[in-house]
Amino acid sequence: MRTISWISLLVSFMVNAVLFGVGLVTVLMIPALQDQLPWAIVVVVVFSFALSPFISRRIAPHLRLRHHREDR
């Protein structure tokens, strides 16, 4: 695997956790969704898994060492 793929994989776990946490807190805070809470949580899980690879693929190139300046 290429280095960017490894970085993307590691970042994907963190992005997934953040998306899941934000989505779950949002679902739990909306009173209108209390009746459909089991389905809403499933939707949050599916969306967090579906979106995390795309978001992490955008973040990963910026975490490469060659993007940091040496004068710092």
pTM of the model: 0.83
**CA-to-CA separations, 8 to 5, 24, 50, 72, in angstroms, rounded:** 5, 23, 14, 25
* AA identity, residue 32: A
Per-residue pLDDT of the chain (72 residues; tens, 9 = 90+): 888 899 999 999 999 999 999 999 999 999 999 999 999 999 999 999 999 999 999 999 888 877 666 655
For 53, what's the count of Cα atoms within 13 Å in the CB-facing half-sphere?
A: 4
Q: What are the two backbone dihedrals, phi and then psi, of residue 2, each rounded to the nearest 5 degrees?
A: -75, 160
Distance of CA 59 to the CA centre of its chain: 10
* AA identity, residue 33: L
* AA identity, residue 65: L
- Domain ranges, ordered by start, for the chain: 3-64
